């Protein structure tokens, strides 16, 4: 990125000063090395978001930001409905509520090594993965609508999960305001056989070891112990969320024109929050959030079933489940007064600090766990919200962030070779797609350690523990 066009605020904060029709500045959180490696498109897209009506305070980009559809991946923006604020399907993304959940196991690395091959095979057999993957679950119309309203709570009611999980999921496992009538029949049709499936792309189920603890007190409160093992699942709302994104991006283009909104680019299609289409999108998007929460709950149940065969004395409690691609109504103090805002986080994680009223009692003392995915060959992190002024509307990065496109990665690596190289390092990969493995090669991502260190220095979230992969079931 050409930094000559930015104003450096400090060693981790860069500002795009408002010019032309920008309503607020753009803020990019990065150190010098990360920002120089970022695509110029990140700055361009961050500035374009700052042109949308009703935006509050600034348009933000997290340290893992890269070029996305309309908004940058890693983009955060809040809109005030009483000032003409908008909701944008591009600002949420196609994989609505894609997110991460981690389960504790109490098992050691040695426990896993003793059964690693068989455990990897069993997980791959139990977890449907890949393009168009389907599970044995099939929902009729009534069951679909109940799932879209009930989220993870619905999955628990069906026997796919445990009631104790719900307190450890954003929104207590169920997003209020979901309206199945706003979800098209085509979207429901696509999802009918996809509950409890991992999908493709960067989605995964990973067995990870706690390699290093940075914050012993918070790690102990979260149940993280060096040398012990977690199960982490990264997945979203599958075909239903993608269909909702596709349909509303199409429909929001004429809606924006009718509302007199001049779009900097078509991919920022949006509608006033108070408009009929804005309200329909929110009803559909919240239903998609519930779909993702239910899907991850079911996948967690499948993982528990496999572990129960190998380690029947271990029950795998949920550490936390957090979403990435959402628009949520939150109260934030801006200009010295509390305001109810519609916060878009696209490839960004909510990161509430200690004592936040929306956190469950069990986590209020430490703050919200922030689960950061790395790549199948490097590492992942558990962070915690810092609550120091709520930078970026209490948001943090969501992963390492891509350093190159999937197309470029495919030209550089072969899937079989990636699997073999990782096996030599003790990391077993199971995937139905060699192409998918090549696209997601570890070298295609930024240095996750550098990204989370910058997030910490910028005051977005604090490091708690670093995780390393042992087994990865890749979509």
Predicted confidence (pLDDT) per residue in 234-254, tens digit: 999 999 999 999 999 999 999
For residue 367, say whether it is annotated as part of any ligand binding site.
Answer: no
Q: How far apart are CA 269 and CA 172, in angstroms?
A: 30
Helix ranges (DSSP H) in 271-403: 276-310, 361-364, 391-394
What is the mean predicted confidence (pLDDT) over 127-152?
93
Q: Hunting for tokens 């997945």 — which residue is that?
A: 235
For residue 401, say whether it is annotated as part of any ligand binding site.
Answer: yes
Fold of 3-474: tRNA-splicing ligase RtcB (3.90.1860)
E strand intervals along 67-187: 73-79, 86-88, 99-108
| pLDDT band with cut points at 50, 70 and 90 for residue 27 | very high
**Buried/exposed code over 253-283 (b: 16+ C-beta within 10 A; e: otherwise):** bebbeebebebbeebbbbbbbebebbbbbbb
For residue 375, say whether it is annotated as part of any ligand binding site.
Answer: yes
E strand intervals along 374-456: 380-385, 395-396, 428-430
The percent of residues above 70 in pLDDT, for the chain, comes to 100
What pLDDT is stored for residue 388 in this prediction? 67
Type and span of the H or E element at 417 = helix 415-424
Angle between helices 276-310 and 116-126 (to 10 degrees): 140
For residue 376, say whether it is annotated as part of any ligand binding site.
Answer: yes
**Buried/exposed code over 407-426 (b: 16+ C-beta within 10 A; e: otherwise):** eebbeebebeebbeebeeee
Q: How far apart are CA 276 and CA 284, in angstroms?
A: 12
What pLDDT is stored for residue 213 in this prediction? 98
For residue 366, say whether it is annotated as part of any ligand binding site.
Answer: no
Cα angle 310, 314, 315; round to 5: 115
| pLDDT band with cut points at 50, 70 and 90 for residue 375 | confident
Longest dimension (CA), the chain: 64
For residue 328, say whether it is annotated as part of any ligand binding site.
Answer: no
Residue 405 clears pLDDT 70, i.e. is over it: yes
What is the mean predicted confidence (pLDDT) over 131-137?
85
Residue 387 clears pLDDT 80, i.e. is over it: no
For residue 344, say whether it is annotated as part of any ligand binding site.
Answer: no
> What pTM does this model have?
0.96
For residue 399, say whether it is annotated as part of any ligand binding site.
Answer: yes
28-40 pLDDT, tens digit each: 999 999 999 999 9
- The domain locations on the chain are 3-474
Residue 216 clears pLDDT 90, i.e. is over it: yes
What are the residue numbers of the active site?
Answer: 398
Q: Which residue, among 94, 57, 425, 53, has the nearest Cα to 250 in the 3D structure?
A: 94
Type and span of the H or E element at 334 = strand 326-334
What pLDDT is stored for residue 132 in this prediction? 79
427-459 pLDDT, tens digit each: 999 999 999 999 999 999 989 999 999 999 999
Type and span of the H or E element at 142 = helix 141-157
């Amino acid at each position: 990125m050409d930094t000559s066009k930015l104003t450096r605020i400090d060693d981790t904060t860069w500002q795009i000063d408002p010019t032309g029709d920008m309503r607020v500045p753009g803020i990019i959180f990065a150190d010098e090395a990360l920002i120089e490696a970022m695509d110029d498109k990140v700055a361009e897209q961050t500035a374009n978001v700052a042109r949308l009506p009703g935006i509050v305070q600034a348009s933000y980009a997290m340290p893992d930001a890269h070029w996305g559809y309309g908004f940058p991946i890693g983009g955060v923006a809040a809109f005030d409905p009483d000032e003409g604020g908008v909701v944008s399907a591009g600002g949420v993304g196609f994989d609505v509520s894609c997110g991460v959940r981690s389960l504790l196991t109490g098992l050691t690395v040695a426990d896993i090594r003793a059964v690693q091959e068989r455990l990897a095979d069993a997980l791959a057999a139990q977890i449907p993965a890949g393009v168009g993957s389907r599970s044995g679950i099939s929902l009729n119309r009534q069951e679909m609508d109940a799932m879209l309203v009930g989220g993870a709570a619905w999955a628990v009611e069906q026997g796919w999960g445990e009631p104790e999980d719900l307190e450890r999921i954003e929104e207590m496992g169920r997003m209020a305001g979901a309206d199945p009538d706003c979800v098209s029949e085509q979207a429901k049709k696509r999802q009918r056989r996809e509950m409890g499936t991992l999908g493709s792309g960067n989605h995964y189920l990973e067995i990870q070891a706690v390699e290093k603890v940075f914050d012993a007190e918070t790690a102990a409160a979260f149940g993280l112990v060096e040398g012990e093992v977690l199960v982490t699942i990264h997945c979203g709302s599958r075909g239903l969320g993608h269909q909702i994104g596709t349909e509303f991006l199409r429909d929001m283009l004429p809606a924006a024109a009718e509302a007199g909104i001049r779009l900097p680019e078509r991919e920022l299609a949006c509608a006033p929050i108070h408009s009929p289409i804005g309200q329909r999108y929110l009803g559909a998007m919240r239903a998609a959030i519930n779909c993702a929460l239910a899907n991850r709950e079911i996948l967690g149940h499948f993982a528990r079933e496999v572990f129960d065969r190998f380690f029947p004395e271990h029950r795998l409690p949920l550490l936390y489940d957090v979403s990435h691609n959402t628009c949520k109504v939150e109260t934030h103090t801006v200009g010295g007064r509390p305001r109810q805002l519609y916060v878009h986080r696209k490839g960004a994680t909510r990161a509430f600090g200690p004592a936040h009223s929306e956190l469950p009692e069990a986590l209020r003392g430490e703050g919200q766990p922030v689960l950061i995915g790395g790549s199948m060959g490097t590492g992942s992190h558990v962070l915690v919200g810092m609550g120091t002024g709520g930078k970026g509307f209490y948001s943090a990065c969501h992963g390492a962030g891509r350093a190159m496109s999937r197309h470029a990665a495919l030209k550089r690596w072969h899937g079989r070779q990636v699997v073999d190289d990782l096996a030599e390092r003790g990391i077993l990969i199971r995937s139905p797609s060699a192409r998918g493995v090549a696209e997601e090669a570890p070298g295609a991502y930024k240095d996750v350690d550098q990204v989370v260190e910058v997030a910490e220095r910028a005051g977005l979230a604090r490091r708690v523990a670093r995780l390393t992969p042992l087994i990865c079931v890749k979509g």
